[in-house]
Amino acid sequence: EPPDIPKDFSCQTQDMKRVTCTWREEETYLYGKNSPRYTLSKTSSQKMALCKASCSKQCSCSWDIGQQWIWNVTVTVENPLGKKTATDVFDVNHRMYPTAPFQVWEDCTDTEMTLRWNYENNEIELFCQTEVVQPDGKVELHNSSVADSRRVMVRGLQPYTEYTARVRCGAARHFWRWSEWSQPLTTRTKEGTPSGKLDIWREITPVFGGRNVTLFWKQTPSFQANGKIISYEVTWEKIEDGSQPESISFSSVYNSTRIFIDNHSYRISVMAKNNVNFSLPSILIISRATDNSRKTLFCSFLGTEELKEGQVNGTDDGIFISWEPRSIYNSYIIDWCNFPRLQPCDLQWKRLGPNTSSAVISSAAFVPGVRYKFSIYGSVANRASLLEKKIGYLKELPPRLDPVVRKLDLTYNSVTLSWDSYLTNESEPGFVRGYHVYVSPMQGNCNLKGSKKHILSDESELCKYTIENPEEKRYTVKHLMPNTKYKIVVKAFTGGGETPIVNFRYIDTPYNSNMLYFIFLLVIVPTLVAAICHWKMKWVKEWCCPVIPSPNKSKVLSFKEFKIDSEKVLKINDCLPDMLAMDSNAEAHKL
């Protein structure tokens, strides 16, 4: 291809003695003796080259300017297919491109930094700019207030904080472009007095004669150490009688301590100390021990809880906790243990504003199947009062064990199951919500009245009964078939479900006694009666069906006279009756 017009052609000086022109090399796809040739010359005399160009992606060419300040130069590029030119007219005084500053150093206080530097062209008046990079990556630019100044003061810095700075300069009178940046300088401001207060909390344990108070403290985002914390100062004093305060100092590696106080009110403060000074004190007021606190001590010895614990639920972000807000408090505190099964349990706490009635507590230490306890306090004038207690899981898991069935009461059509009280202590992986009773005959499918079908992984079918009261420990399965073998199991379930069904108990329902009695009446009794009758047939026959005498066979009627047709007639005078009754006059007359 023929050459194109040279791109980005410009000329500049770094020392007011020598000018360098640069431009971008273009691809012509011709090489060797046919590759493009560049010539830089005065526009008025293009036959005389000012310098020899060298190219490597970008081309450059330099020459001494002597006493000439105004220049009109042309760069020519040509190959066998064509020729193109580009022209630049400039005043050397307007094309100053300084070299980068060097020997940058600093002088710091806790909030200010003074940067100083040198540069080569001392006879040229320069204007410089400083870049300061904050620890969070934010960049601030600071310009020199006076031309040709070799220093700049940066104010408003944080104590004991690392900053990175660098400097660049440009011509003060006829600005052309900034120089390259100097080598970056990393420095740290000096220490200052800690700002803000520590966040402190306490755990109070009633003991005989007083209370053990475990104090905890931590640095919050609003607290600035402004240096290296070397110790913490803990002070406590009795409020009522104004007695001499006691204090103790701890190394910076500690974040808790335990002190003993009696039953009076106490004022406790904690301060952080660096090499410069102490922070402002963080204050807690421990109120006088009351009868209620002594009752709490008594309850703790008995193993009872004075305040009922409410249940809370886990979410994708943590454990959601809500409470009834009270207008008298200016803040709320929630405390809990990240590792409740360990002692000490690594107490944590979170402070919330006055217009708050819920919070999501999250921690990388929370794991499914572990019960966490939360206490909600209301605070006013540095005094905290326990308001509510909550227990909950990040995620509930199925119970570890099945209820132990201790008793089976069988009838021909029902079975009554009784099981032990299920342990619901804090070691359980979830809240027991109730029980499931599963029943199935060994042969065939289950279709008991009042049950729901439950299909196992092996496609077998069970009848399922749900008991939603976790306090229930007895259940009767009805509508069973007599003389049938069944398998049965009781499972506890939580919000995380239940464990797989593995172990069954097997029962055999007895015969129906009513049916046997009916069969006895219907078959056995009639058979027994028939046998007796057959054995005593003659007696039964005489007793049940006596022989009726026939008048025709009577000896009384053995005479041959007085026959009427085929019947013999007895003459009354042949008999000696005990009594004579005349039934019919007409009949008597006939006789």
- CATH number of the domain bearing residue 206: 2.60.40.10
Query: Using CA atoms, how far apart are residues 286 and 213, in angstroms rounded to an integer?
Result: 9
Beta-strand (E) ranges in 481-561? 485-494, 505-508
Residue 559: inside a domain, yes or no? no
Q: Is 179 helix (H, G, I), strand (E, B) or coil?
A: coil
Residues sharing a CB contact under 8 Å with residue 414, sequence separation 6 or more, in sequence order? 476, 477, 478, 479, 480
Residue 152 pLDDT > 70: yes
Residue 447: inside a domain, yes or no? yes
Say yes or no: 412 and 505 in one domain: yes
Residues sharing a CB contact under 8 Å with residue 109, sequence separation 6 or more, in sequence order? 189, 190
566 backbone φψ class: left, alpha, beta (φ>0; ψ -120 to 50): alpha
Say yes or no: 70 and 137 in one domain: no
Query: Using CA atoms, how far apart are residues 225 and 194, in angstroms rounded to an integer?
Result: 5
pLDDT tens digits, 424-437: 778 889 999 999 99
pLDDT tens digits, 439-469: 999 888 888 888 899 988 888 889 999 999 9
- DSSP codes joined into one string, 532-552: HHHHTHHHHHHHHSPPPPPGG
Residue with structure tokens 């530097």? Answer: 117
Say yes or no: 162 and 214 in one domain: no
Q: What percent of the chain has pLDDT over 90?
A: 51
Residue 562: inside a domain, yes or no? no
Say yes or no: 90 and 113 in one domain: no
**What global pTM score does this model have?**
0.68
Residue 540: inside a domain, yes or no? no
Residue 304 pLDDT > 50: no
Say yes or no: 72 and 122 in one domain: no
| 301/374: higher pLDDT | 374
Residue 333: inside a domain, yes or no? yes
Q: CA angle at residue 69 from 66 to 74, to 5 degrees?
A: 95
Tell which of 133, 153, 188 closes a domain. 188
Region 531-540 average pLDDT: 71
Region 319-333 average pLDDT: 94
Total number of domains constituting the chain = 5
| 504/581: higher pLDDT | 504
Residue 230 pLDDT > 50: yes
Say yes or no: 17 and 63 in one domain: yes
Query: Using CA atoms, how far apart are residues 395 and 407, in angstroms rounded to an integer?
Result: 33
Beta-strand (E) ranges in 309-451? 309-314, 319-322, 331-337, 347-352, 358-361, 371-380, 383-393, 405-410, 415-419, 432-441
In terms of C-beta density within 10 A (0-12 exposed, 13-18 middle, 19 or more buried), how is residue 157 classed? Answer: buried
Say yes or no: 421 and 504 in one domain: yes
**What contacts 24+ positions apart, CB below 8 Å, involve 134-139?**
134/163, 135/161, 135/162, 135/163
Residue 153: inside a domain, yes or no? yes
Query: Using CA atoms, how far apart are residues 118 and 130, in angstroms rounded to an integer?
Result: 13
What are the φ and ψ backbone dihedral angles of 526, each rounded to 5 degrees? -60, -35
pLDDT for position 300: 43
pLDDT for position 562: 57
Tell which of 94, 110, 140 closes a domain. 94
Query: Using CA atoms, how far apart are residues 446 and 453, in angstroms rounded to an integer?
Result: 8
Say yes or no: 503 and 486 in one domain: yes
191-222: string of b/e by CB count within 10 Å (b at 16+)? bbbbebbbbbbbbbebeeeebebebbbebeee
468 backbone φψ class: left, alpha, beta (φ>0; ψ -120 to 50): alpha
Tell which of 94, 118, 146 closes a domain. 94
Residue 536: inside a domain, yes or no? no
Residue 471: inside a domain, yes or no? yes
What is the residue range of 282's domain?
198-290
